[in-house]
Chains A and B, each alone.
Chain A
Amino acid sequence: AQSVTQPDIHITVSEGASLELRCNYSYGATPYLFWYVQSPGQGLQLLLKYFSGDTLVQGIKGFEAEFKRSQSSFNLRKPSVHWSDAAEYFCAVVPGTSGTYKYIFGTGTRLKVLA
């Protein structure tokens, strides 16, 4: 069965430090990959997505993610975290053949930023 794993439930970093959030997926073919952010009491906002092509994807708010087929990973990175980045981050997968946004979400990583 298809699945998405975010191994870190909580991550704490200091403001200005770099960040990497891990995401691994289990799927036979190359899926479409997404990262969403959810601030407290807010809906989901798309940070970036990967469909094909360049495996390093740039997103909003200074985030980027790299698709590594050999590791079935799509890790999210930011070189310098801001206090406003504190939120919950979700990795999501859609089968590449589905033609839909019928996501399989990971369980999320809650990011805390220390001043």
Chain B
Amino acid sequence: GAGVSQSPSNKVTEKGKDVELRCDPISGHTALYWYRQSLGQGLEFLIYFQGNSAPDKSGLPSDRFSAERTGGSVSTLTIQRTQQEDSAVYLCASSPGLAGGDLFGPGTRLTVL
């Protein structure tokens, strides 16, 4: 497809379980971002990948959160030992560079019971 895709679109999990959220960026986009949108905190930056550089993890809320980007393309956000406060919509965006604009995916809605 032409846009950023994310899977699953919805994920319901039990407290304490691990979850993996996937982002497929637009082909050729070197930059990839993860954001979280929650009722209490609004839209928050989580992590940023640019090419082969070390990721900017400054927005990750705890060490239960991690992300990787394989081959400069697909990215996976992993949340270990999920807590109820992790319930949110997780958004991914990709960009070819600042002047090229960025595009957001539809998000994954995570519900932790």
Contacts and interface: CB of A to CB of B under 8 A. Distances in A.
Interface of A: 32, 36, 42-46, 49, 51, 90, 92, 94, 99-108
Nearest to B41: A107
B74 to A, nearest CB: 18
Interface string B87-113: 000010101001101111111000000
A21 B104 CA distance: 22
Interface residues of B, number: 24
B43 interface: yes
Contact of B33 (A45, A49, A102, A104): A102
What 3 A-B pairs come out closest when comparing CB atoms?
A105-B43, A44-B104, A43-B104
A55 B98 CA distance: 19
B43 A101 contact: no
B107 A101 contact: no
Given A42-B106, A105-B42, 6 more contacts: A45-B104, A90-B43, A102-B48, A102-B56, A102-B59, A107-B42
Contacts, number: 51
Contacts of A104: 45
Contacts of A92: 43
B45 A103 contact: yes
B98 A100 contact: yes
